[in-house]
């Protein structure tokens, strides 16, 4: 088995080192009308603390780069500054870096 990265072993505040992943879509009822329910799709971004394994999830309305950046801003406003992000280099994450 490989050794753990040093950031997983060094004591640090929660969410200093964060893994990022997106998942979805799933269908949700957004509003009820007389004719029935209006459905729409939602996605989520999962921020995982690499030290404590705590999870923070942000729900987004559309899978766009601007939605991801806004979710990232909300996350850092709540959890504080992050030293390092790690992701699987998904297409949405790569586009938002440009």
Give a yes or no: residue 49 inside a domain: yes
On whether the pTM is more than 0.85, the answer is no
Cβ-count burial of 47 within 10 angstroms (0-12 exposed, 13-18 middle, 19+ buried)?
buried
Whether residue 7 lies inside any domain: the answer is no
pLDDT in tens, 36-82: 778 899 999 999 999 899 999 999 999 888 999 999 999 999 999 99
Residue 4 within a domain: no
**Quick check: is 3 in a domain?**
no
* 78 part of a folded domain: yes
Q: Is residue 59 part of a domain?
A: yes
For residue 51, the 8-state DSSP code is: T
- How many domains, the chain? 1
**Looking at the chain, which runs of residues are DSSP E strands?**
17-33, 36-49, 55-60, 84-87
**74 belongs to a structural domain:** yes
Domain enclosing residue 76, as ranges: 12-87
Residue 26 lies in a domain: yes
Return the minimum-mean-pLDDT range out of 5-9, 24-28, 58-62, 66-70. Answer: 5-9
């Amino acid at each position: 088995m490989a050794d753990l990265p040093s950031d997983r072993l060094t004591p640090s505040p929660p969410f200093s080192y964060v893994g990022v992943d997106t998942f979805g879509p799933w269908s949700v009822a957004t509003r009820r009308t007389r004719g029935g329910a209006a459905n729409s799709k939602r996605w989520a971004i999962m921020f995982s603390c690499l030290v404590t394994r705590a999870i923070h999830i942000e729900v987004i309305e559309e899978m766009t780069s601007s939605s991801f950046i806004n979710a990232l801003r909300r996350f850092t406003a709540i959890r504080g500054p992050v030293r390092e992000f790690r992701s699987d280099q998904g297409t949405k994450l790569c586009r938002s870096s440009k």
